Amino acid sequence: MKIEETQKIQKFTDLKAWQASRMLVKNTYRACYLFPQEELYGLVSQMKRSSISISSNIAEGFRRDTMKDKIHFYVMAHGSLTELQNQIILSQDLLFLDERSYEDLTSLTEKVDKLLTGLIRSSKERL
């Protein structure tokens, strides 16, 4: 059995939390494509911005010099994730999302949540 080497994280794109949040952006955009036209500047805009904010804050936090600053941006990403989770629920309530899209997005947000929680926790341990 071969033992895998743990690769050192050298750039934000190496972070599993960022990788999962990137997938969340793609899936959010795909799901919003079928929303009613009148939601283009309402819920669709909010969902797109929330999803992008998650990955952007992870990336920005990665490049911050102090651990306190890193944690701040990772926590901001977590806040944007919670905002998106709320918007996904509302989208289903308003019948803009079908069951499969709702479940896919919810599952991805839960994955990002776990990864972000771990990233924040490990960053706090280094503080």
Query: Around Cβ 19, how many Cβ atoms within 10 Å?
Result: 16
Q: How confident is the model at residue 62 (pLDDT cuts 50, 70, 90)?
A: very high
The answer to whether position 1 is within a domain reads no
Longest dimension (CA), the chain: 56
Question: Smallest Cα–Cα separation from 110: which of 50, 13, 20?
Answer: 20
pLDDT above 70 (res 5) = no
Which pLDDT belongs to residue 127?
84
What is the pLDDT, as a whole number, of residue 6?
57
Could you tell me the residue range of the domain that residue 55 belongs to? Answer: 15-126
- Taking only the tens place, the pLDDT of each residue in 27-59 is 999 999 999 999 999 999 999 999 999 999 999
Q: Is the pLDDT of residue 1 over 90?
A: no
Query: Is 3 a member of any domain?
Result: no
pLDDT of residue 8: 85
No. of helices (H) and no. of strands (E), the chain: 4, 0
- Residue 107 placed within a domain: yes
The DSSP code for 38 is G
Residue 99's CATH number: 1.20.1440.60
